[in-house]
A and B are shown apart, each in its own frame.
Chain A
Amino acid sequence: MENSASAALEPLLSFLTFSLSTLESGFYKLPGSAVVARYVKSSHQNDPGRTILELILIIFAIRTLLQSRTRADRSGKHFIKFSEKEIDELVDEWAPEPLVQPLTEWEQKDLSSVPVIAGPNGPKPKLFSTGKTVTNLASFNFAGLAGNEQVKDRAVDTLRKYGLGSCGPPGFYGTIDVHIDFERDIAEFLGTEAAILYSQGFSTISSVIPAFCKRGDIIVADRSVNFAIQKGIQISRSTVRWYDHNDLKSLEDTLISVEKERKKRKGLLTRRFIITEGIFERDGEMVDLPKLIELKLKYKYRIILDESISFGTMGRTGRGLTELYNVPASQIDMLVGSVANGLCSAGGFCAGSAIVVDHQRINGTSFVFSASMPALLATSGSEAITYLRNNPSVLLTLQDNIRAVRAVLEKTEGITLLGHRASPIIHFCLRTQQQSLSVTTATYDHEAEERILQDIVDDVIANGVLITRAKHLRGQEMIESRPTIRIAVTAALTKKEVEKAAGVVKTSVTRILSKRR
C-alpha cells in the first residue's frame, strides 16, 4: 500500500525536483539574480526568522520607496551570453571616444571673447584684458546695488559674527538665524506667508518644480521658458503641454483641451500647474499677470512663476510683477525669484504659503542636499531689500534709462528690438524677413548670425561700452532661439550716460552691418 503510494508519487516527486532545479538554474540565469541570492544568503545567516523579517521590511521598503528609480533595465531579452574569454576580447577591443568633443574654432573664439572684469564690477568697471574702463550694459546691476557701501558694511559685520561658510546643509545645523530673517524679509516684502532660500538662483526653480510636480501631474508651460525651468520640468516627469510664447489665448486653448481630455478619459483629478516667467530671460517679454491669474482661477491651476528678472526691478519698489499689476502675491502659488539678479547678492527663493514652503524644506532637492548660503550673502540680500524699500526713485531712474536705451536702439537700422518696453533686459536680433524669435524652422544661419553679433559686441567693447550676446546652450535648449545681443540696463548710470552708450551700440551696429553688405 505504502509502497504503491510512494511509487505513484515517484514521478510526481521527480517532476517536482526537476522543475525546482530548472527554476533554480533559470533564476541564476537571470541577470542580477546572483546579487539577490547573495543578499538573501547574507541576510538569512541560517536564521529563517530573519529572512521573514527581511521580507516584511522589503514590502515596507517597496511601498515607501519613491517610484522613480533610474536603473537601466536588465531584462534578459537582449542579453547575449559571452564566455569570459570573449568578454576579455571585447574589453580589449573596445576603444572609447574622447570624453568631450574638443571646442570648435568658433567655440574657442566665443570662449576667449568672454570679458573679464578687473576690480569691482559696477556701472563703470575696468576690463582685465585692456585695462580700459567701460560703461557697463552687460552685467545685472539693475537697481545699482553693486558696490553699495551700506550693503558692504552689513556684510562685513556679518562676517565678523558668523564667518563665511555655513559648513552644512540647512538640515544639519546650516540654518542660521540670518537665513530665517532673510526669508521673513522676503515674505514680508512680497506679502506672502513664507519664503524659502536656496543657495543658487539657477538651481532654485529647477528644484521647486520637481518638488511639487510628479509623474501623472499636468504642467502647462510657455514654449519659451528659460533653461532652468526646462530642466525642472524634465526632472518632474509630469505630462507637459506647451503653449505659444506669451500667448494667453493659446494658454487658454490648452487649458480647455486638457480639461476636455480629462473629462473624456474620466481621469482622476491631478495636480495641474501653469509654469511661466514674469519677464522672459530669453527675450524680455512680459506676461500679462492679471489675465494669467484670471485663467488660473477659472481653470483651477496652480501657478509657478519665475520672477528671476522682474524681482528687484519691476514695480515701484522692486517687488516684481505683483506690485506692477497690483495683484496680491498670495495669488501666485509659487513665486520664484533670484537674489543674485535683483538684489546683487547670490541665491534664489521661492515664496508662497507656509504649506508650499515647508514642503520644499523636505522635498526641494537643491535645498536639502546643499550647504546653505553664506551668512553674509543672506544679510546683503536683506540689506538690499531695505535699500529698495527706502529708495523707490532708483527704479524710476531705471525705467527712464530703459526708455532712453530703447529710443536710441529703435532708430537703429538692421536690428529688431524684442521684448516688453519696460523690461530691464533688452534683446535685439538681426533684422530679416522672419521677425518672430521662436522660429523652429531655421530660416537663418545660426552661427553666421552669432558671428555678426559677436563682431558687433567686440566693436562696442572696443568703443568703451560693455555688452554681451545672450549665451545659450545650443542643442540642449528645447527650442533654438534666434541669436540676440542682450543689454542689461542699470539705474547706476545717468540718462546721459546710457544714451551715449546706446549711441555707441547704434554706431557699431551700423558700421558692422554696412561692412557686411
Chain B
Amino acid sequence: MTTTTSYLHSVHHADTFSIASSPALSLSSSVTAYSEDAIMNEDDENNSLAYPRTPPTSEQVFTTVHAEFGHCTNEAYRCISKHDYTRPVQEHIIEEPPYYILLATYMSYVILYFFGYGRDFFGILFTSHFTHLLPHNGYAPLKSSFDSFYSRRLRLRILDCVSQPVTGVPGRSIIVLDRSFTDNDHALIHTGGKTRSLNISSYNYLGFAQARGGCADAVEESIRRYGISTCGTRLEGGSSELHVTAEALVARFLGMEDALISSMGFATNSTFIPALVRKGSLVISDELNHNSIRLGVRHSGAEVRMFMHNDMSSLESLLREVISQGQPKTHRPWKTILLIVEGLYSMEGTLVNLPRIVELKQKYKFYLYVDEAHSIGALGPHGRGVTDYFNIHPRSIDLLMGTFTKSFGAAGGYIAGSKTIIDALRLRGHSGPYAEAMTPPVLAQIVASMASIMGVAPTSQQTNSRLSISRDNSSVVLKENAVGFPATAPASMLPTWMNLPPALADGSEARMRISRLAFNSRYLHAGLKKLGFITYGHPFSPIVPLLLFNPGKMCTFVRLMRAWSPPIVVVIASYPATSSMTSRARFCTSAAHTKEDIDTVLRACDEVGGIMDLKHGSGERWGIDEVCERAVELVHSHFS
C-alpha cells in the first residue's frame, strides 16, 4: 500500500518533472482542478461538483479534474477488496419487504394492466393513434400491440427517467441534457439546458473515464500515430501491432497463457461462445446470465440448461442429473459441459461463489467460463477480478472473459485461456473473419489503463518475436515462478511511444483507485443498510441495488434524486431486466467518488427514502449523521 504522502509526492514529482523537462508539455493535459479549460462553463451553479469542498493545500497537487475524478487524500477512506476465508461465502440474501408493499406492488401492476388494456381497447375503437399497430394496406403491423404493450403502457409513463441523454465525461459527475415532455406527453424534447449531476450510474468503476491524464494523453498520441481505424477484420488485413500488444498484455494481466480481444463486449460473448461448444455439448448457465451470453448459446445451437441464480446446490443437482442422464433421448455421454457464470451480476450485485464452483469443477469435470464484465478491475486487491478476490489461481478456470467498457473506460472485450483454445477461437469465432477489429484509440486506452494497474517494470530484454496475430510460444508467456502473479507489465511490452506519467507507471495511482473503489462500495452498502434500506449484493460489489419494489416509485425516486442539490442521476431497472416484483434503483460506485460524494448519496437516499417509505430493511438503524461520521468503522465492520 502506498501512503498519501508518497502518492502526492509522485504526483507532485510528475508535475514538476513534466513542466521542467519540456516546456511544450505545459500544454499537455496534466492539469490540476483549477486550469480553466477543464471546467466546462455550463456548470457555474453546481460548483460543489466542480470544486472540492475544502480547497487543497499548497503541497497538494492533483493530476485529475475534480469533476471527473474526485480529490480525496484521506488514507482512511481506503479498503482492500479481498475474501475473508474465515467466513463463509455470502449467499444471495433476499430480504423481503412487508406484506403491504407487496400488495401495493401487485395492485400497481393490476391497475397498470387494467388501464393499459382499457386504453388500448377504446383507443383502437375510437382514435387513429393505433394505425401502426393494426394491419393496413396489406401489411401486417410492424409490432403487435401485445409485444409493444410494455413499451407503450408502462415504459412511456417513465420516459423522462430512462435513456437520459448526457454530454461530457461520464466520470464522477456528468452533464445531463435537460428534457421536457411535449404537450401531448408522448415525446420528450430537449430544452437546451444542461445540468451537471453527481454520477452514481456509469460503469466507471476505476474512474478511468477521463478526458485528461496519462491515459487520455496516450489515446491522443495513438490517434495521431495510427488514425481512427485499422480498416478491416482481424483475419483480413485489419490486424495491427497494437492488437498483438494489447492481447499479450491482457494475458499477462490475467495470468493466463493467451488472450484475444474483440471490438465489442457483447459480441465477445455472442460470437465466441459458439466456437466453444459443438453438437453433443451442453451449456449450463446461471438463470440471470447476461443477454449476450444467452445469445451466444443460442447462436451455437447447443443444448442449454439453467440453474437458480448463484445457487450451488441447484447447480450441483443439475450437474448430477445431466451427467448421469447424458444427452437427451440417446443418453450418450455429453462430449463437453461448459458452465457459464458471471463474476459479478450487473443487476443484483451478487458475486459468484467461485470457491465452490472450482470445487465442483474438480469433481464434475466441466469447463468453466467466467464473464468478468463487471468484476475485472473492480474486485480483488490487485484489480484482477474474482479470482484475485478469492485468491484462486486464474488458471484453474478455463476461460476468463471480460469487457473493457467498465473498469478500463474503453470499449470491447477479451477472452483469455490456454493458447490452444484461444488460437482456435481466433480462427473459428465469428468475430475473426467478419467483425471489424478494435480501433487504435480504444486499444491505447486499454493498454494504458491496464499497464497502470499492473505497474510498469522497466526491463531491458526485448521480446520482439510476436510476428503473427497468434502469439508465439517463445514470446511473453507468463511463467508463474519467474514473474510471480499478479504480474507487472514489462516496459518492453508497451508501445515504445507510450510514456505513462510516473504515478501511473509505478502503479501507485491504480492502487489508490482500487482501494478507493472498495471503500466507496462497502460504505454505500453498509450505509444504506444502516439507514434501513433493502439492498442486494455483495458488500464489496460496486453495484448496489436499492429495492423500490413498487414500479410507481421508480420515477418518483429518479425525479427526487435529480432534484437534490447537487443533482444525482440514478439508474432504475424493472421488468424485463429484473423480475417485475423487484423494481429497483441501482447505484454504481466508482473510485472517482470521494467519501463526501457517497455521503451526499446517502443523505439524499435517507430523505427521499423517508418520504417514499422505502426503509423496510431489518437490522440495527443509525441516523444519517452517525452513518457519515462512523463511515470508516462501518466499512471495516462485518456487516451483511
Are A167's CB and B236's CB within 8 A?
Answer: no
The answer to whether residues A96 and B366 also contact, given A87-B324, A355-B142 and a CB cut-off of 8 A, is yes
Give the complex CA separation of A171 and B204 in angstroms: 15
Chain B nearest CB: distance from A142 CB in Å?
9
- Cross-interface CB contact of B265 among A119, A370, A476, cutoff 8 Å: A370
- Cross-interface CB contact of B436 among A50, A114, A201, cutoff 8 Å: A201
The answer to whether residues A165 and B231 also contact, given A136-B237, A369-B291 and a CB cut-off of 8 A, is no
Q: Which residues of A contact B208 (CB under 8 A)?
A: 165
Within 8 A of A (CB), among B449-480: 467-470
Q: Which residues of A contact B212 (CB under 8 A)?
A: 160
B73 within 8 A of A: no
Are A269's CB and B140's CB within 8 A?
Answer: yes
Are B169's CB and A202's CB within 8 A?
Answer: no
Residue of A nearest to B439 (CB): A346
Are B333's CB and A94's CB within 8 A?
Answer: yes
A344 within 8 A of B: yes
Are B223's CB and A156's CB within 8 A?
Answer: yes
Chain A nearest CB: distance from B215 CB in Å?
8
Q: Report the stretch among B2-10, B47-55, B292-300, B618-626 that lies at the interface.
A: B292-300
Interface string of B129-171 (1 = CB under 8 A from A): 0001001011111110001111100010000001111111111
Q: Report the stretch among B18-26, B99-107, B514-522, B604-612 that lies at the interface.
A: B99-107
B250 within 8 A of A: no
Q: Which residues of A contact B168 (CB under 8 A)?
A: 161-162
B345 within 8 A of A: no
The answer to whether residues A159 and B441 also contact, given A80-B331, A139-B238 and a CB cut-off of 8 A, is yes
A99 within 8 A of B: yes
Are B162's CB and A171's CB within 8 A?
Answer: yes
Residue of B nearest to A490 (CB): B231
Q: Which residues of A contact B366 (CB under 8 A)?
A: 96
B254 within 8 A of A: no
The answer to whether residues A167 and B409 also contact, given A90-B324, A100-B421, A359-B143 and a CB cut-off of 8 A, is yes
The answer to whether residues A139 and B237 also contact, given A101-B424, A167-B202, A212-B142 and a CB cut-off of 8 A, is yes
Residue of A nearest to B154 (CB): A64
B233 within 8 A of A: yes
B43 within 8 A of A: no
B408 within 8 A of A: yes
Q: Report the stretch among B76-84, B427-435, B484-492, B544-552 that lies at the interface.
A: B427-435
B525 within 8 A of A: no
Q: Which residues of A contact B325 (CB under 8 A)?
A: 78-80
Residues of A in contact with B, size category: 35 or more
Give the complex CA separation of A148 and B297 in angstroms: 40
Are B209's CB and A165's CB within 8 A?
Answer: yes
Are B441's CB and A200's CB within 8 A?
Answer: no
Residue of A nearest to B308 (CB): A35
Are B239's CB and A116's CB within 8 A?
Answer: yes
Interface string of A218-242 (1 = CB under 8 A from B): 0000000011100100110000000
Chain B nearest CB: distance from A450 CB in Å?
13
Residue of B nearest to A84 (CB): B320
Interface string of B118-137 (1 = CB under 8 A from A): 00000000000000100101
Q: Which residues of A contact B581 (CB under 8 A)?
A: 57
Give the interface centre of A64, A129, A147 by most chain B CB atoms within 10 Å: A64
Are B170's CB and A107's CB within 8 A?
Answer: no
The answer to whether residues A119 and B220 also contact, given A159-B441, A369-B291, A370-B265 and a CB cut-off of 8 A, is no
Q: Report the stretch among B334-342, B502-510, B529-537 that lies at the interface.
A: B334-342
The answer to whether residues A100 and B275 also contact, given A57-B106, A110-B427, A377-B228 and a CB cut-off of 8 A, is yes
A317 within 8 A of B: no
Give the complex CA separation of A116 and B440 in angstroms: 14
Chain B nearest CB: distance from A427 CB in Å?
12
Are B470's CB and A138's CB within 8 A?
Answer: no
Give the complex CA separation of A227 and B231 in angstroms: 19
Q: Which residues of A contact B171 (CB under 8 A)?
A: 163
- Cross-interface CB contact of A202 among B215, B243, B435, cutoff 8 Å: B435
Residues of B in contact with A, size category: 35 or more
- Cross-interface CB contact of B238 among A121, A200, A376, cutoff 8 Å: A121
Are B170's CB and A168's CB within 8 A?
Answer: yes
Are A111's CB and B201's CB within 8 A?
Answer: no
- Cross-interface CB contact of B227 among A113, A120, A165, cutoff 8 Å: A120
Q: Which residues of B contact A177 (CB under 8 A)?
A: 165-167, 177
Are B365's CB and A159's CB within 8 A?
Answer: no
Residue of A nearest to B165 (CB): A175
Q: Which residues of A contact B135 (CB under 8 A)?
A: 269
Q: Report the stretch among B266-274, B351-359, B379-387 that lies at the interface.
A: B266-274
Are B225's CB and A99's CB within 8 A?
Answer: no
Within 8 A of B (CB), among A162-220: 162-168, 170-178, 180, 199-203, 212, 214, 217
- Cross-interface CB contact of A53 among B106, B274, B329, cutoff 8 Å: B106
A270 within 8 A of B: yes
The answer to whether residues A346 and B436 also contact, given A78-B328, A94-B333 and a CB cut-off of 8 A, is yes
Residue of B nearest to A369 (CB): B291
- Cross-interface CB contact of A139 among B167, B231, B321, cutoff 8 Å: B231
The answer to whether residues A202 and B241 also contact, given A139-B232, A373-B411 and a CB cut-off of 8 A, is no
A279 within 8 A of B: no
The answer to whether residues A173 and B411 also contact, given A99-B421, A111-B423, A235-B298 and a CB cut-off of 8 A, is no
- Cross-interface CB contact of A370 among B155, B209, B234, B264, cutoff 8 Å: B264
Q: Which residues of B contact A115 (CB under 8 A)?
A: 237, 239
Residue of B nearest to A368 (CB): B291
Q: Report the stretch among A3-11, A69-77, A247-255, A431-439 that lies at the interface.
A: A69-77
Within 8 A of A (CB), among B311-327: 314, 319-321, 323-325
The answer to whether residues A366 and B423 also contact, given A117-B239, A141-B231, A159-B441 and a CB cut-off of 8 A, is no
Q: Which residues of B contact A346 (CB under 8 A)?
A: 228-229, 263, 436, 439
The answer to whether residues A199 and B434 also contact, given A120-B227, A159-B216, A468-B236 and a CB cut-off of 8 A, is no
The answer to whether residues A167 and B405 also contact, given A116-B244, A203-B264 and a CB cut-off of 8 A, is yes
Q: Which residues of B contact A128 (CB under 8 A)?
A: 241, 244, 467
Give the complex CA separation of A279 and B229 in angstroms: 22
Give the complex CA separation of A180 and B164 in angstroms: 12
Are B201's CB and A376's CB within 8 A?
Answer: no
Are A173's CB and B199's CB within 8 A?
Answer: yes
Are B306's CB and A165's CB within 8 A?
Answer: no
A470 within 8 A of B: yes
Give the complex CA separation of A177 and B319 in angstroms: 48
Residue of B nearest to A237 (CB): B298
A448 within 8 A of B: no
Are A376's CB and B202's CB within 8 A?
Answer: no
Within 8 A of B (CB), among A456-511: 466, 468-473, 476, 486, 488
Give the interface centre of A112, A116, A217 by most chain B CB atoms within 10 Å: A116
Are B234's CB and A201's CB within 8 A?
Answer: no
Q: Which residues of A contact B594 (CB under 8 A)?
A: none
Interface string of A26-56 (1 = CB under 8 A from B): 0000010001000000000001011001001
The answer to whether residues A202 and B445 also contact, given A121-B227, A139-B238, A340-B436 and a CB cut-off of 8 A, is no
Q: List 17 A-B contacts (CB under 8 A).
A: A31-B321, A79-B325, A96-B334, A96-B336, A114-B469, A117-B237, A128-B241, A156-B220, A161-B168, A163-B211, A164-B441, A165-B409, A167-B209, A173-B174, A340-B436, A376-B228, A472-B433
Q: Which 6 A-B pairs have the closest CB atoms?
A: A138-B237, A202-B435, A471-B433, A370-B266, A340-B436, A139-B231
What is A's interface to B at a CB cutoff of 8 Å? Answer: 31, 35, 47, 49-50, 53, 56-57, 60-61, 64, 70-73, 78-80, 82, 86-87, 90-91, 94-103, 107-108, 110-122, 128-129, 136, 138-141, 145-148, 151-152, 155-156, 159-168, 170-178, 180, 199-203, 212, 214, 217, 226-228, 231, 234-235, 268-272, 300, 302, 338, 340-341, 344-346, 355-356, 359, 361-362, 365-366, 368-371, 373-374, 376-377, 380, 466, 468-473, 476, 486, 488
Additional A-B contacts beyond A94-B365, A271-B140, A369-B266 (6; CB < 8 A): A91-B320, A152-B228, A177-B165, A217-B140, A365-B295, A476-B274
